[in-house]
């Protein structure tokens, strides 16, 4: 089915440009309101956002749309995406909305929707919302049936306490010096507070959002400054969140990156030892082959999905798994959250660290990664992957890698980019295969 608005993670685009305009977002809220206006109870929507300038434009558009459909609105301001999932269920709301483009630059923005169960919407719900957005008329509330809006002043405190409860009660972070990079994003207040209240010495960075500096040379997608600060301060580790704090990257005391695959492997190994792990670990096709081999050695199953945390969550719910995620740092722990939560995942790694009484460089290297290379090719239109020259280059690359490697080619779900990834035991071969395919796509695009 062709989608007009929704991508792999909600609706996303450049702010004040279709579809991220006040007009479209107003219509989105009205359609979502009609879709989730069920029964005779007083309907409720929770709306949060990150720190982008365009949030000031989109928040009132959403508020107006929902109120026009007779739904009450609770505004929580800048909050991590996982907090919206948590608050949606805690407040028994009918819908949760997060205004964020996650790790993208400030000039992008997006809308993520959560159902009454706190999970992101299904494909069927999104398609129905799109149908309603294009319908001739929506069922507006009567004048006396309009919704109301209010702000939830203690939302941050509620989320902080919920996150702290995921950390083992017999442990503390006393004696640990932690640099936390909040990406000038949604967790700029809550992340340092959680770590401080659990006993750590906290060095916060990127905690002065100005509307345009979210994810700029900071956060989970750019750890250079964090790595420098960890070493400069002699810290035990660093924690990098992205703009909406649903992903995490860890940096060890030597300034080396511990990516999402290593984070998942550390947690999987620990949970397997204690009997807390249920089902397979669920990861995407982009997760490193080294992790797959590590899990096999530990007799832990692996289920791979398409790229996108929503697909990971769908597989986890289908199979009863409680751990999954992406190499990029989305780590989903369904015992504690309905979507990726960078803070909760970081606390699980910290629990392993405290119990092991070893440095992060030892704890965070659960497996030796197989050489892996990812390159992005931007294109202006058309379907470059269908070109015969590109298909030939892909087939040749697969043959060259053979059984000792993998090749993953996919279009991005959020931007006009083809992602080319190869991995295998031969670093030079991996690089050659990727370069040949990139060249073929570039010549066609």
pLDDT of residue 25: 98
Burial level of 275, CB count in 10 A (0-12/13-18/19+)? exposed
- The active-site residue, picked from 100, 102, 321, 328, is 102
Which residue bears the tokens 């995490």?
248
- Helices within 320-341 (DSSP H only): none
pLDDT of residue 227: 98
pLDDT of 1 higher than 70: no
Q: What mean pLDDT comes out for the span 111-129?
A: 95
Average pLDDT of the chain? Answer: 96
d(CA 99, CA 120): 13
Higher pLDDT, 309 or 142: 142
d(CA 98, CA 124): 19
Tokens standing for 400? Answer: 């060259």
Tokens standing for 404? Answer: 């000792």
pLDDT of residue 426: 93
User: Is the bond preceding 80 in cis, omega lying within 30 degrees of 0?
Assistant: no
Task: Calculate the alpha carbon distances from 360 to 196, 205, 230, 235 in Å.
Answer: 19, 20, 12, 10
pLDDT of 445 higher than 80: no
pLDDT of 161 higher than 90: yes
pLDDT of residue 7: 87
Q: Three-state SS string across 377-430, please?
A: EECCCCCHHHCHHHHHHHHHHHHHHHHHEEEEEEECCCCCEEEEEEEECCHHHH
pLDDT of residue 308: 86
Residues 6 or more apart whose Cβ sits within 8 Å of residue 49: 55, 58, 59, 77, 78, 79, 98, 99, 100, 186
Does residue 51 contact residue 214 with C-beta atoms inside 8 Å? Answer: yes
Tens of pLDDT along 368-402?
999 999 999 998 878 899 999 999 999 999 999 99
- DSSP class of residue 307 equals S
pLDDT of residue 307: 87
Tokens standing for 437? Answer: 């395919």
Domains observed in the chain: 6-153 (3.40.120.10), 159-363 (3.40.120.10), 372-444 (3.30.310.50)
Q: For the chain, give me the number of helices (H) and strands (E)? A: 14, 19
Higher pLDDT, 166 or 381: 166
Tens of pLDDT along 298-317?
999 999 999 888 899 999 99
Residue 414: pLDDT band with limits 50, 70, 90: low
Q: What mean pLDDT comes out for the span 203-227?
A: 98
- DSSP class of residue 119 equals S
Q: What mean pLDDT comes out for the span 152-171?
A: 97
pLDDT of residue 230: 98
pLDDT of residue 403: 85
Does residue 294 contact residue 265 with C-beta atoms inside 8 Å? Answer: yes
Does residue 104 contact residue 11 with C-beta atoms inside 8 Å? Answer: no
pLDDT of residue 39: 87
pLDDT of residue 3: 84
pLDDT of 177 higher than 80: yes
d(CA 124, CA 42): 24
Would you call 432 helix, strand, or coil by DSSP?
helix
Q: Is 311 left (phi over 0), alpha (psi -120 to 50) or beta?
A: alpha
Judge whether 102 counts as a catalytic residue: yes
Residue 190: pLDDT band with limits 50, 70, 90: very high
Residue 282: pLDDT band with limits 50, 70, 90: very high
pLDDT of residue 349: 98
pLDDT of residue 2: 72
Which residue bears the tokens 């205004």?
99
d(CA 73, CA 148): 6
Tens of pLDDT along 45-91?
999 999 999 999 999 999 999 999 999 999 999 999 999 999 999 99
């Amino acid at each position: 089915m062709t989608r007009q608005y929704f991508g792999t993670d909600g609706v996303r685009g450049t702010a004040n440009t279709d579809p991220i305009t006040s007009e479209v977002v107003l219509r989105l809220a009205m359609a979502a309101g009609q879709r989730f206006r069920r029964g005779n109870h007083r309907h409720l929507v929770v709306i949060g956002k990150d720190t982008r300038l365009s949030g000031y434009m989109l928040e009132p558009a959403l508020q107006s749309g929902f109120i026009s459909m007779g739904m009450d609105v609770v505004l929580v301001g800048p909050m991590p995406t996982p907090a919206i999932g948590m608050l949606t269920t805690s407040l028994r709301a009918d819908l949760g909305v997060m205004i964020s483009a996650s790790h993208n630059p400030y000039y992008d923005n997006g809308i993520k929707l959560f159902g009454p169960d706190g999970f992101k919407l299904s494909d069927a719900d999104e398609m129905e919302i799109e149908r309603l957005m294009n319908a001739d008329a929506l069922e507006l509330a009567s004048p006396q049936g309009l919704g109301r809006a209010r702000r939830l002043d203690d939302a941050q405190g509620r989320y902080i306490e919920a996150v702290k409860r995921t950390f083992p009660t017999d442990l503390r972070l006393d004696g640990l010096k932690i640099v936390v990079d909040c990406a000038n994003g949604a967790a700029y207040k809550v992340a340092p507070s959680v770590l401080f209240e659990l006993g750590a010495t906290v060095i916060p960075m990127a905690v002065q959002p100005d509307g345009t500096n979210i994810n700029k040379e900071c956060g989970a997608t750019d750890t250079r400054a964090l790595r420098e600060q960890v070493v400069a301060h002699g810290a035990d580790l660093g924690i990098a969140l992205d703009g909406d704090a649903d992903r995490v990257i860890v940096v060890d005391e030597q300034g080396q990156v511990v990516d999402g695959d290593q984070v998942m492997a550390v947690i999987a190994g620990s949970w397997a030892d204690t009997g807390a792990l249920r089902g397979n670990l669920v990861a995407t096709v982009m997760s490193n082959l080294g992790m797959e081999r590590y899990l096999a050695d530990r007799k832990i199953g692996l289920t791979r999905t398409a790229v996108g945390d929503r697909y990971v969550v769908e597989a986890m719910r289908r199979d009863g798994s409680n751990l999954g995620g992406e190499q990029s740092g989305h780590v989903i722990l369904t015992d504690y959250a309905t979507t990726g939560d960078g803070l909760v995942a970081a606390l699980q790694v910290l629990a392993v660290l405290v119990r092991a009484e070893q440095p992060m460089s030892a704890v965070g290297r659960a497996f030796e990664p197989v050489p892996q290379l990812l390159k992005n090719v931007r294109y202006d239109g058309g379907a470059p992957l269908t070109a015969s020259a590109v298909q030939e280059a892909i087939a040749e690359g697969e043959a060259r890698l053979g059984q000792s490697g993998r090749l993953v080619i996919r279009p991005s779900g959020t931007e006009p980019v083809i992602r080319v990834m190869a991995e295998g035991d031969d670093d030079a071969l991996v690089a050659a295969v990727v370069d040949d395919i990139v060249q073929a796509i570039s010549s066609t695009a």
